[in-house]
Chains A and B, each alone.
Chain A
Amino acid sequence: MRLIISSLLLALITSGCTIEPWVQPYERANLADPIMSFSRNPVSASYRNHVFEAREGARGADGSQGGGCGCN
Chain B
Amino acid sequence: MEVRVVVVVVTKASRYLLASLIIVLICPADAAVLPEDRTDVLSHSYKGGGIEISGPSVLVRKGDAKSFSAYANYYVDNISSASIDVQALGASRYQESRVEQSAGFDVLHGKSIMSFGYTNSVENDYVANTYHFGISMDMFGDLTTVSMGYAQGQDQIFRTALVDGVRGRDPGFNETALRRNYSLGLSQVVSKNLLLGLNFESISDEGYLNNPYRQYRYLSGSTARFETEVYPRTRTSNALSLQARYYLPYRAAIHYQERLFNDDWGIVASDSEVGYTHPFGENLILEIRYRLYSQTRANFYSDLHAEKSSQALDFRARDKELSSYDSRTLGLVVSYEFAKGGWWFIDKASLNLAYDYIKFDYKDFRDATASKTDASLVGNEPYYQFSANVLQLFFSVWY
Q: Nearest Cβ in chain B — how far from A47, in angstroms? A: 5
In the complex, how many residues of chain A place their beta carbon closer than 8 angstroms to a beta carbon of chain B? 46
Knowing A51-B46, A57-B269, the reply to whether A44 touches B16 (Cβ < 8 A) is no
Q: In chain A, what residue has the closest Cβ to B19? A: A9
Knowing A13-B23, A33-B247, the reply to whether A68 touches B128 (Cβ < 8 A) is yes
Question: B126, A41: Cβ atoms under 8 Å?
Answer: no
Q: Which of A13, A41, A57, A60 contacts B322 (CB 8 A)?
A: A57
- Which residues of B, 147-194, contact A by the 8 Å Cβ criterion? 149, 151, 153, 155, 157, 179, 181, 183, 187, 189, 191-193
Q: In chain A, what residue has the closest Cβ to B185? A: A63
A12–B129 Cα distance when bound, in Å, is: 38
Q: Which of A36, A38, A57, A72 contacts B126 (CB 8 A)?
A: A72
Count: A-B pairs, CB below 8 Å:
206
- Which residues of B, 308-358, contact A by the 8 Å Cβ criterion? 321-322, 327, 333, 335, 352, 354, 356, 358
Knowing A17-B27, A62-B259, the reply to whether A27 touches B192 (Cβ < 8 A) is yes
Provide the residues of chain A in CB contact with B128, threshold 8 Å. Answer: 67-70
Question: A68, B129: Cβ atoms under 8 Å?
Answer: yes
A6–B27 Cα distance when bound, in Å, is: 18
B300 within 8 A of A: no
Q: Which of B126, B189, B238, B251 contacts A31 (CB 8 A)?
A: B189
- Which residues of A, 1-60, contact B by the 8 Å Cβ criterion? 5-6, 9, 12-13, 16-17, 19-23, 25, 27-28, 30-31, 33, 35-36, 38, 41-44, 46-48, 51-52, 55-60
Q: Which of A13, A56, A69 contacts B321 (CB 8 A)?
A: A56
Chain A proximity mask over B39-60: 1 for CB below 8 Å, otherwise 0 = 0101010100000000001010
Question: B237, A60: Cβ atoms under 8 Å?
Answer: yes
B141 within 8 A of A: yes
Question: A68, B119: Cβ atoms under 8 Å?
Answer: yes
Question: A30, B193: Cβ atoms under 8 Å?
Answer: yes
Q: Nearest Cβ in chain A — how far from B325, in angstroms? A: 9
B22 within 8 A of A: yes
Provide the residues of chain B in CB contact with A46, threshold 8 Å. Answer: 57
Provide the residues of chain B in CB contact with A20, threshold 8 Å. Answer: 141
Provide the residues of chain A in CB contact with B120, threshold 8 Å. Answer: 68
A34–B95 Cα distance when bound, in Å, is: 39
Q: Nearest Cβ in chain A — how far from B268, in angstroms? A: 9
Q: In chain B, what residue has the closest Cβ to A24? A: B141
Provide the residues of chain B in CB contact with A13, threshold 8 Å. Answer: 19, 22-23, 26
Knowing A43-B57, A43-B59, A66-B151, the reply to whether A60 touches B269 (Cβ < 8 A) is no
Residue of A27, A55, A67 with highest tally of chain B CB at under 10 A: A67
Stretch of B86-94, B200-208, B215-223, B371-379 on the interface side? B200-208
A22–B139 Cα distance when bound, in Å, is: 13
A56–B327 Cα distance when bound, in Å, is: 9
Provide the residues of chain B in CB contact with A66, threshold 8 Å. Answer: 119, 130, 132, 151, 153, 179, 181, 203
Q: Which of A22, A36, A59, A65 contacts B117 (CB 8 A)?
A: A65
Question: A65, B189: Cβ atoms under 8 Å?
Answer: no
Q: What 10 A-B pairs have minimum CB-CB distances, sorted nearest first? A: A68-B128, A21-B141, A60-B201, A61-B239, A60-B239, A70-B126, A58-B261, A58-B269, A72-B211, A67-B119
- Interface on A for B, CB 8 Å cutoff? 5-6, 9, 12-13, 16-17, 19-23, 25, 27-28, 30-31, 33, 35-36, 38, 41-44, 46-48, 51-52, 55-63, 65-70, 72
Given contacts A9-B20, A43-B42, 18 further A-B contacts (CB under 8 A): A16-B140, A17-B28, A20-B141, A22-B143, A28-B189, A31-B195, A43-B57, A46-B57, A55-B327, A56-B295, A58-B259, A59-B203, A59-B239, A60-B238, A61-B200, A65-B132, A66-B151, A67-B130
Would you list 26 pairs from A and B whose C-beta atoms are within 8 A, ordered by A residue? A9-B20, A13-B26, A16-B23, A23-B143, A30-B193, A38-B197, A38-B245, A42-B35, A42-B40, A43-B394, A47-B42, A57-B263, A57-B298, A57-B322, A58-B239, A58-B259, A58-B271, A60-B203, A61-B200, A65-B117, A65-B132, A66-B132, A66-B181, A68-B119, A68-B121, A68-B130
